Amino acid sequence: MVDLAFDPQLMFGVMEKAYRTGLLDKGNALLGEALGQVIERNGINMEDLINRMDMAEEETVRKLDGMLSRSTLPLKLAGNERMMRAASRMLDAAPVRRAAVKGMVLFLERTMAKQDGTLPLLKEQIRDFAAEKRDRLMSAVGRSA
């Protein structure tokens, strides 16, 4: 087992400020919405999703430990109350909320695909992304691809 290296007092301070500014509540609501979309889009239930997320390998935990050991400065910056209040206000805008949920869904689905070994190669992902954007643009201007 790997011992996670971070300053618990600093983490507590950041989380306490996130709670006071409303950012924690808004973030939790967005995460809940993203989890709901992942469950619906992939035809799984919450138990399946939790089990899949709980299958972190030791190498993943080591990477997380490395990130946390270097997190003091980023946590101090993230713990800036003015910045948290600004982020909280930004999350009041529907487009920002939609983008945040979409990003979380993308991250979760990519993580599951990577665990399953079904994540396409990067060049295929880029090709599919470009094709999707082209098709959306063409349909917006009234043409078919």
CA 30 → CA 24, 75, 89, distances in Å? 10, 21, 14
Burial class (CB in 10 A: 0-12, 13-18, 19+), 38: buried
Report the residue count for the chain: 145
CA pair distance 72, 68, nearest whole angstrom: 8
**pLDDT of the residue at 144:** 60
Quote the CA–CA distance of 91 and 71 in Å, as a whole number: 24
Mind listing the pLDDT tens digit for each residue in 2-60?
444 567 888 888 899 999 999 999 999 999 999 999 999 999 998 888 887 777 677 77
3-state per-residue secondary structure call for 53-95:
HCCCCHHHHHHHHHHHHCCHHHHHHHCCHHHHHHHHHHCCCHH
What are the residue ranges spanned by the domains of the chain? 8-119
Has this prediction a pTM greater than 0.75? no
In tens, the pLDDT along 106-134 reads 888 888 888 778 888 888 888 988 898 89
Nearest Cα to Cα of residue 59 among 115, 125, 118: 115
Tokens of 64: 């997380």
